[in-house]
Amino acid sequence: MNKILTLVACLGFVACASQTQTKLVDRMTHDPNYTNTETILHVWSWNFNTIAENMKQIKEAGFTMLQTSPVNACFSPEGANKKLFDRKEGNWYHYYQPTDWTVGNNMLGTEEEMKAMLDSAKKYDLRVLVDVLPNHTAFDIDLVAEEFYEAVGGRDKMFHTNGLKGIRDYNDRAQCTHQGVGGLPDVNTENPLFQKYYMQFVNKLIELGVRGFRYDTAKHIGVHSDPLDVEAGVTENDFWDVATGRKEVLGVSLAIPYDSLFVYGEVLQDRTVPEEEYASYFGQTASSYGHVICHALRNRSTKDLDLVSWHHRAAPEYLTTWVESHDTYCNAHETADLTDAQIRTGWVLITARQNGTPLFYSRPMNSTRENYWGDNLIGPRGNDEFFHPEVVAVNNFRKEMKGQTESLGFSEDGKAIIVNRGDKGAAIINIAAEENAVALTTSLPDGEYKDKVYGQTFKVENGVLTGNALPETTYIIVK
């Protein structure tokens, strides 16, 4: 996934599709010497034109990838989809109610605007990921396009047998993979006609220039060990085999080698989730690790918490990490109480580390801890945090530390953290609300160092780094 292969030139788009081979990757075995260098900016709620206008700044901020909201046709009430959260003028979750697998919607823009944005990304050598959600349709199934129904063989072929029922027990894998998440109608993703229609959409995005995907509600699409929807005529849970290019469906297959794409699934961790099987297809979200980080930020201490473990069975080089996601910010406002400074300190922690691919969620412009929606507009860019000097410094540090393994250290009271990268660099993080005189174990050689952001001086003597750290502030040191 992170170990990207060079694309082989094809004479034609269709010809290339017919030759696609998928190399099986072991995402459960950790390579202790492997270092991740990528970072993702989630340009949530930004439209295509806004993303294109800010491409240079995204590049200068040190990000290597950006992730858009869903680009497919979606629930679009007349006059709505202008606001992030408003009863009359639309809501952010309309993105997540597909009505057809075609490119463009009134929240992000047209196919032509998307192509212009992708061309801009290519100019700045930025990889664009698209959030895709094949698991369900819009709540109102009468609003799903007739062309979509026809393509999958009719309404009775669109949904699982119990697809219009909501999940009651998320640890029951039959319910989890055959019934509606949050009441959203659950698509029969094992229907070959649906798979073909969906893959034509994916190949269209690839043709436009998309080079990766985030699979929404991925754990709600079954793997081979999951129960079959026999009543719907399902004989094999093979959606992921098709989506990842292992097999074709009705003459259609993934257009380019799967290993040339960055793909991860939203597999929120729970006790019955078959993480090992999902790992055979794609990288996964380290949701439990995110919870632990947020707990430490709220406590302003790591004491009695394990921030070294990734809290996941898969190898960390194949995990996507975050301090917060659009879901934790928007759904129950689980992380929306954390200040921008707290989010930033968490970002420096996950980005300075050797593994994981960190995702930075762009909060709404002018959002506060009293007003989570800020300007409450769909389309404009988020706040300034994605190019804060500390964010830029650690993004560049991550790339510079390629090949350097990590060691983490914590102060006795848990208020200060150091991420050492070999003997070449270190990130110092003060999560306390007060100034902190730090003394942290390091592998840096003895000497005096100035950090990359503030010019603050730290001293290393006999393997201990000392200095003063301001409240909720981070420092980057490179030898």
- Residues marked active site are found at 216, 266
355: left (phi over 0), alpha (psi -120 to 50) or beta: beta
CA distance to 158, 229, 266, 328, 395, per residue, from 448 (Å): 65, 65, 43, 40, 23
- The first and second tokens of residue 439, run together, are 């003394």
C-beta neighbour count of 298 within 10 angstroms: 13
* Contact (CB, 8 A) for 355 and 316: yes
| CA-closest candidate to residue 427, choices 415, 438, 416, 419 | 419
Structure tokens at 429: 């993080």
Alpha-carbon distances of 239 from 85, 199, 215, 311, rounded to whole Å: 33, 10, 12, 27
The three state secondary structure string of the chain is: CCCCCCCCCCCCHHHHHHCCCCCCCCCCCCCCCCCCCCCEEECCCECHHHHHHCHHHHHHCCCCEEEECCCEEECCCCCCCCCCEECCCEEHHHHHCEEEEEECECCCECHHHHHHHHHHHHHCCCEEEEEECCCECCCCHHHCCHHHHHHCCCHHHHECCCCCCECCCCCCHHHHHHCEHHHCCEECCCCHHHHHHHHHHHHHHHHHCCCEEEECCHHHCCCCCCCCCHHHCCCCCCHHHHHCCCCCECCECCCCCHHHCEEEECCCCCCCCCHHHHHCCCEEECHHHHHHHHHHHHHCCCCCCCCCCCCCCCCHHHEEEECCCHHHHHCCCCCCCCCHHHHHHHHHHHHHCCCCEEEEECCCCCCCCCCCCCCCCCECCCCHHHHCHHHHHHHHHHHHCCCCCEEEEECCCCCEEEEEECCCEEEEEECCCCCEEEEEECCCCCEEEECCCCCCEEEEECCEEEEEECCCEEEEEEC
Q: Structure tokens of 111?
A: 């196919």
Q: Tokens in use for 29?
A: 């075995």
